[in-house]
Amino acid sequence: MISVIISGHGDFATALKGSSGMIFGDQDNLIAVPFLKGEGTQTLQEKYKQVLEGIPEENEVLFLVDIFGGTPYNAAAPYIVHNQRIDMASGVNLPILLEVLSMREYVPLKEMLNKLKKVNEEGFQVCSEHLEKIKESNQVLEGDLL
């Protein structure tokens, strides 16, 4: 099992966890750690430490943070350097979190991270590009695009 720690600026982590709960229901070993206004790196590292102490030793741990190089990322990095069962990915969004929740019981952490790179690439779509492809392929008349 992979325990998941979501973190980001403001209430991002809490909201993301709540949104995933609407789709997957409440999940064990899914922890939101918000980085609130007025807090610093040291405070966030303490929050992470407390959460990590409650995670079973046999679990791998995945930090999902909002911004590469932001405070939530930087605060988690020392835990990853010293522990091979912990890793982190930045740029988390709801599709990524849902993929993690669907795979975390049967896919090892490193394999999951490789799969997530592709999911993120496929998940970012531009509507106008799809409409243009449809027009070019003459699959439907322009009035039937929407």
Residue 140 sits in a domain of what CATH number?
3.40.50.510
Q: Which residue has the higher pLDDT, 117 or 3?
A: 3
Annotation says 130 is catalytic = no
Cα–Cα distance, 123 to 30 (Å, whole number)? 22
| pTM: predicted TM-score of the whole model, two decimal places | 0.86
- 109-123 vs 94-103: helix axis angle to the nearest 10? 150
Residue 127 pLDDT: 86
Are the CB atoms for 79 and 48 separated by under 8 Å? Answer: yes
CA-based torsion, 37, 40, 43, 48: positive or negative:
positive
How many domains is the chain partitioned into structurally?
1
Residues 21-76: tens digit of each pLDDT: 999 999 999 999 999 999 999 999 999 999 999 999 999 999 999 999 999 999 99
Please report which residue ranges of 1-146 form alpha helices under DSSP H: 12-24, 41-53, 71-81, 94-103, 109-123, 127-137
- Catalytic-role residue among 1, 9, 66, 86: 9
- Domain region containing 117: 2-144
pLDDT tier at 133, thresholds 50, 70, 90: confident
d(CA 80, CA 87) in angstroms, rounded, equals 6
